[in-house]
């Protein structure tokens, strides 16, 4: 079933705790944490936060403030963070240079215009700030892997998303004035193993990137 993105995430929220809840998310989080900046004393934003997984980590690691932002009211309601903002990540209701660290997990594919997304995120990032994010690698979609879940009634839902190539990220970030500080990939067979994935040995399934704003 193809619900609109927001309705689908509202529905998924009940079964979406703020921690890695499957092996792919565990591998993705390990890749993101390998790029993780020092957040202590800094103003942090968990963008497209879902139930607040990265915002919680920011809080636990001593961020001065943490804002959790998502478009899904259902997801936001689950986030155990004091400051929650319902907004579209492509048009953020924040002043320029509001944050020192921005994290965004597994959501950039929901921005069809990557350059516009990057420009908007860069706008709210302060000079000296760091943006770290992950997303599904387009190679995974090309072999038929989907963003999908099964609801409490047994109905399967698949979410549409754009395929952004690694070069697209580089072009968009450079145009937004950001500088590459690190990258990681999650590969089946190396970072993620499961019997049902064995046929895709070596496939890149997640891309994680860290950018700095000079």
Ligand X SMILES: C[S@@+](CC[C@H](N)C(=O)[O-])C[C@H]1O[C@@H](n2cnc3c(N)ncnc32)[C@H](O)[C@@H]1O
Q: Are 118 and 92 in contact (CB under 8 A)?
A: no
Q: Which two tokens stand for residue 205?
A: 């399934």
Single out the segment in contact with ligand X by CB under 6 A; choices: 59-67, 70-78, 150-158, 172-180: 70-78
From the DSSP assignment, how many helices (H) and strands (E) are in the chain? Answer: 7, 9
Which residues touch 4 (CB under 8 Å, ≥6 apart)? Answer: none
Residue 153 C-beta: closest distance to ligand X, Å? 20
Work out whether 5 is an interface residue with ligand X (CB under 6 A): yes
Q: How far is CA 68 from the centre of its chain?
A: 12
Single out the segment in contact with ligand X by CB under 6 A; choices: 42-50, 77-85, 166-174, 187-195: 42-50
Q: Which of 59, 70, 81, 205 binds ligand X (CB under 6 A)?
A: 70
Single out the segment in contact with ligand X by CB under 6 A; choices: 48-56, 57-65, 166-174, 188-196: 48-56
Report the SS3 class of residue 199.
helix
Element containing residue 149 per DSSP (H, E): strand 147-150
Q: Which of 24, 31, 84, 105 binds ligand X (CB under 6 A)?
A: 105
From CA 5, how far away is CA 53, in angstroms rounded?
Answer: 19
Residues between 71 and 100 with contacts to ligand X, criterion CB under 6 A: 71-72, 75, 88-90
Which spans of this chain sit near ligand X (rule: CB under 6 A)? 5, 9, 48-50, 53, 70-72, 75, 88-90, 105-107, 110
């Amino acid at each position: 079933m193809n619900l609109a993105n927001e309705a689908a995430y509202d529905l998924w929220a009940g079964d979406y705790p703020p921690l890695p809840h499957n092996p792919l998310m565990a591998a993705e989080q390990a890749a993101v944490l390998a790029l993780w900046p020092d957040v202590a004393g800094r103003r942090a934003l968990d963008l497209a936060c879902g139930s607040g997984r990265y915002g919680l980590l920011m809080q636990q690691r001593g961020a001065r403030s943490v804002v959790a932002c998502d478009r899904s009211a259902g997801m936001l309601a689950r986030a155990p963070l004091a400051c929650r903002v319902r907004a579209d990540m492509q048009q953020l209701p924040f002043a320029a240079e509001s944050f020192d660290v921005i994290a965004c997990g597994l959501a950039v594919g929901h921005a069809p215009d990557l350059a516009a997304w990057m420009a908007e995120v860069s706008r709210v990032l302060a000079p000296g700030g760091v943006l770290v994010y992950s997303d599904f690698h387009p190679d995974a979609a090309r072999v038929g892997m989907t963003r999908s879940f099964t609801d409490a009634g047994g109905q399967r839902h698949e979410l549409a998303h754009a395929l952004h190539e690694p070069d697209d990220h580089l072009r968009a970030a450079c145009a937004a004035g950001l500088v590459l500080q690190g990258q990681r990939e999650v590969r089946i067979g190396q970072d993620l193993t499961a019997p049902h994935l064995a046929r895709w040995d070596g496939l890149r399934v997640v891309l994680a990137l860290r950018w700095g704003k000079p």
